[in-house]
Amino acid sequence: MTDVKMSVVGSAYDSMVGTERDVLVVEDGTEESVVGYDRAYRQVAIAGGERAGLAPGDTVTCEVTGHNTVYALGEPV
């Protein structure tokens, strides 16, 4: 069952690549990234978010540039 779930989730995140999303930052990530969620509660990791001055509670528009099966990867626009 886990393989099916990962396939479905991966497809959902794959369809986000190349789109812009408004993301609510909720926590610090790793290596100066921040983590947030879009309006559909899909997780987005924003590389360099701390360097860009993003902090929990901020909302930022991001372009989704990739995914790691269980979360999207984004960059601030």
- CATH code, domain carrying 65: 2.40.50.140
Task: Please enumerate in sequence order all residues whose Cβ is within 8 A of that of 13, keeping only pairs 6 or more positions apart, or say none.
Answer: 42, 67, 68, 69, 70, 71, 72
What is the tally of structural domains in the chain? 1
Q: What confidence score (pLDDT) does residue 1 get?
A: 58
Q: What confidence score (pLDDT) does residue 66 get?
A: 95
The one-digit pLDDT tens for each residue of the chain (77 residues) are: 588 878 777 788 889 999 999 999 999 999 999 999 999 999 999 999 999 999 999 999 999 999 988 899 999 99
What whole-number distance in Å separates Cα of residue 73 and Cα of residue 70?
Answer: 10
Q: How many CB atoms lie within 10 A of CB 2?
A: 6
Q: What confidence score (pLDDT) does residue 70 get?
A: 87
Residue span of the structural domain in which 12 resides = 2-76
Task: Please enumerate in sequence order all residues whose Cβ is within 8 A of that of 23, keeping only pairs 6 or more positions apart, or say none.
Answer: 36, 37, 38, 44, 46, 59, 60, 61, 62, 74
Q: What is the pTM of this model?
A: 0.88
Q: What confidence score (pLDDT) does residue 4 get?
A: 83
